[in-house]
Amino acid sequence: MARIGFIGLGNMGGPMAANLVRAGHAVAGYDLSAAALEALAAGGGTAAASAAEAAKGAEIVITMLPAGQHVRDVWLHQGGLIEIAKATGALLIDCSTIDVDSARVVAAAAEAAGLAMLDAPVSGGTTGALAGTLTFMVGGSEDAFARGLPILHAMGRNIFHAGGPGAGQAVKICNNMMLSINMVGVAEGFILAQKLGLDWGKLHEICSTATANSWALSSYCPAPGPVPAAPSNRDYAPGFMAALMLKDAKLAQEAAEATGAPTPLAAQALSLYQAVVDAGDGARDFSVVFRWLSQQKR
């Protein structure tokens, strides 16, 4: 069993760290939130006073932070985390969803210190994090991937090696760009169905076995009712916050601009999530786009 430092114990990191504890690992965690630290300790982990303290003596150091700036900050500018990891030759794993450049900058700094690093963003949401059934899309060397695999298996079910440094983030950005569009598509379908006098339960039952099916429709229906576990049934409590989806939609557009990829629907979806955030719903689940759209006029 490994000694693991875990930094960022939020909606995703909290349950992921708890699953590592459950798998028998010794987990020292750090978060800016005292409540998150208490939850880790209640689950059998150790609350650390800083990121550096969490990483001290660890064989694996994992980060699960909101965005690229936090990841760069924690790894490069706060308390010399890479220096601390060097003492144990730790494997570094960043599970946050961030821009490819930040992932490569941090991986290069790790490599310069003789350390291996994986970018390992996840898919599956908070339900997947709680159940330990996340999908990991991993960038980094073959050797580092092999070292990280048993640890990632304690938090996820499907673990994919996407390619070299940054490749995990590249896959994740494409995945979330598609999801951002899917969710708006499902929302529009359910709004039109209501106007046509259809029952949402029937629409869900039929379309989730027809060609419109998607994860957004079958597992995360944005209209309340058909999927009891979906955030739509708890006033859109996250889940995956609209502000984070907006962040990912922006990452995708930046990547599309940099590479010349035509992504008109994703650009339109971004503007809708921006409107949701501007309306004050950034901290609600991104499926709240359904409720926002329901309140608009054609």
Asked if residue 126 binds ligand NAD (CB under 6 A), the reply is yes
Asked if residue 72 binds ligand NAD (CB under 6 A), the reply is no
Task: Give Cα separations from 23 to 63, 119, 154, 155, 254 (angstroms).
Answer: 18, 22, 6, 9, 38
Asked if residue 66 binds ligand NAD (CB under 6 A), the reply is yes
Write down the residue that tokens 């699960």 correspond to.
64
Within 10 angstroms of residue 184's Cβ, the number of other Cβ atoms is: 22
Q: Is 172 noted as a catalytic residue in this protein?
A: yes
Asked if residue 30 binds ligand NAD (CB under 6 A), the reply is yes
Distance CA 139, CA 232 (A): 33
Catalytic residue among 172, 202, 250, 297: 172
Supply the minimum distance, in Å, between the C-beta of residue 98 and ligand NAD. 6
Question: Which alpha helices (DSSP H) does the chain contain, by range?
Answer: 13-22, 34-42, 51-55, 68-72, 81-88, 100-112, 125-131, 142-153, 167-195, 200-207, 215-218, 242-259, 264-276, 289-294
- When CB distances to ligand NAD are compared, the closest residue is 10
Asked if residue 96 binds ligand NAD (CB under 6 A), the reply is yes
Asked if residue 132 binds ligand NAD (CB under 6 A), the reply is no
Task: Choose which of 3, 4, 6, 10 interacts with ligand NAD (CB under 6 A).
Answer: 10
Which one, 41 or 146, has the nearer CB to ligand NAD?
A: 41
Distance CA 78, CA 236 (A): 34
Asked if residue 222 binds ligand NAD (CB under 6 A), the reply is no
Asked if residue 263 binds ligand NAD (CB under 6 A), the reply is no
Q: Which amino acid makes up residue 189?
A: G
Q: Which of 247, 231, 237 is nearest to 66 (CA)?
A: 247
- The interface mask with ligand NAD, positions 165-204, x = CB under 6 A, is ----------------------------------------
Q: Contact positions toward ligand NAD, by CB under 6 A?
A: 7-13, 30-33, 36, 51, 64-66, 70, 73-74, 96-97, 122-123, 125-126, 239-240, 244
Which residues participate in catalysis according to the annotation?
172
